[in-house]
Structure 1
Amino acid sequence: MSEQRTYIVLLGVPGAGKGTQAKLLEQALGLPQISTGDIFRYNLKHETELGKLAKSYMDRGDLVPDEVTIRMVEERLQQPDCARGAIMDGFPRNLVQAAAFDKMTAPYGGVKVAPLIQVDDEETIRRITGRRTCRTCGAVYHILYNPPKVAGVCDIDGGELYQREDDKEETVRNRLYVYYKQTAPLIGYYFAKGLLREIDGTQSIEEVQNALIAVIREAQPA
């Protein structure tokens, strides 16, 4: 077997704070945050072979097949910054991807822990629908948790704040539906492997981070 690596799979509904927590964990643990969104943008921007393949599906309005996403992730994990492992944010997204991820990480000890950041649906909807984005600089606010000094106006450049289509309630409810249909089965998958750890996502960002670090440290190989 090759050297041990630390692979962490963050689970949680859209808006649970996975991206925020993954960035903080990256700093705390020295492991890269691997986001499928970032990987797709990189491959599309640089017109890689996989990027062109993915674009061919997207241009037809089709979903990018699991095998393409899996290959993109596999290539990303071969980069030097992943030599000690990675924090997975948004991958695996379904059971097919989970099985493929197990296979690609098996030589390095496999997934160490799968923390589930628990947030109920109504809180999720409140978190996402409250977001407002500046049309000019892209800064993001929240009408409850991080409001601008003047309603509807960006603190940075005075630009107009608007609600993105992705942040509207109908879209959020559809994202939750897709999550429960495709991604929620991963909770049972990692529970059966003894890797699931539940974290209360309604705590402060710092409290959630401390809880995540605690379960990750506990799962680290001696």
Structure 2
Amino acid sequence: MRLILLGPPGAGKGTQAKRLVEKHKIVQLSTGDMLRAAVKAETPVGLKAKEVMDRGELVSDDIMVTIISERIDQPDCANGFILDGFPRTIAQADALSSLLTEKKKRLDAVVELEVDDKVLLERIETRARESGEVRADDNAETLRKRLEVYHAQTAPVSGYYRAKGTLKAVDGMKSIDEVAALIDMALRETQDA
């Protein structure tokens, strides 16, 4: 099973990805983790990425697609994977589509966790109040900025996959277990189609 999880920061993608990994015996591929691993391993593409990052610039789509391409060829991806943090733009979605076509693979589903911005802000504030540990990005101002970037750059990716008929929208404002059940139902529909 090959999936993409979409949704704004704080929507619960990481929580749901962990459940999907366990249930379907697939791997979660975080683009940030893959990038760091490629740099650390000093692969050719990792060295290119390091050079760009050392200049304080964003890694290009071409470099990211190459890293993803190399990663999904690894044996632990044979049963499938969940992409986390990619694609973030329509250009990246196009590049991913071309990559998968080249490899004679296809996405099984794109699941979007729909959560209201106001609820996300409340979740962050509650998490900050209730847990003794506060992450650096667990504050309303940082989340507002991240949501602005998400709505400007990443939200249009939903429309891209909706037009292709692969998007499954799930109400991410329900409890963790209810969201998991909705995702399972959406994935069953995809497999039955």
What TM-score results when the alignment is normalised by the length of structure 1? 0.79
**CA distance 1:108–1:205, shift in 2 (3 Å):** farther
2:113 counterpart residue number: 117
Q: d(CA) in 2 for partners of 1:8 and 1:130?
A: 30
Matched with 2:81 is 86
The residue type paired with residue 127 of structure 1 is: R
1:174 aligns with 2:145: yes
Q: Choose the corresponding residue for 1:143, options 125, 129, 140.
A: 129
Give distance in 2, aligned partners of 1:123 and 1:62.
32
Give the number of equivalent residue pairs.
Answer: 192
Q: How far off its partner does 1:12 sit?
A: 0.4
RMSD over aligned CA atoms reads: 1.8
Cα shift at 1:55: 1.9
Q: Deviations over 1:92-146 (max 9, x none)?
A: 1111111111112225452221111011111212223444xxxxxxxxxx534xx
Secondary structure of the structure 2 residue equivalent to 1:184: helix
Q: Sequence identity of aligned pairs in percent?
A: 46
Post-superposition CA distance 1:60-100 (Å, at most 9, x none): 12111111111111111000111132111111111111111
C-alpha separation in 2, matches of 1:211 and 1:108: 29
Partner amino acid, structure 2, of 1:97: Q
> Aligned letter for 1:171?
T
SS, match of residue 220 in structure 1: helix
CA apart distance, 1:210 = 1.3
Q: Deviations over 1:149-173 (max 9, x none)?
A: xxx4xxxxxxxx4x34322222211
TM-score (ref. length: structure 2): 0.90
Spell out, residue by residue over 1:177-211, the C-alpha distance to the aligned partner (whole angstroms, 9 max, x if none).
11111111111101101111111111111111111
Letter in 1 for 2:106: G
Give 1:36 shift: 0.8
Cα offsets for 1:43-64 (capped at 9, x unmatched)? 2333332222222222212111
Q: 1:191 aligns with which of 153, 162, 165?
A: 162
1:55 maps to 50
Counterpart of 1:128 in structure 2 is 124
User: What runs of 5+ residues in structure 1 fail to find an aligned partner?
Assistant: 1-5, 132-141, 153-160
Q: Determine the C-alpha separation between the residues in 1 that align with 2:52 and 2:126.
A: 32
Change (3 A) 1:221 1:79: farther
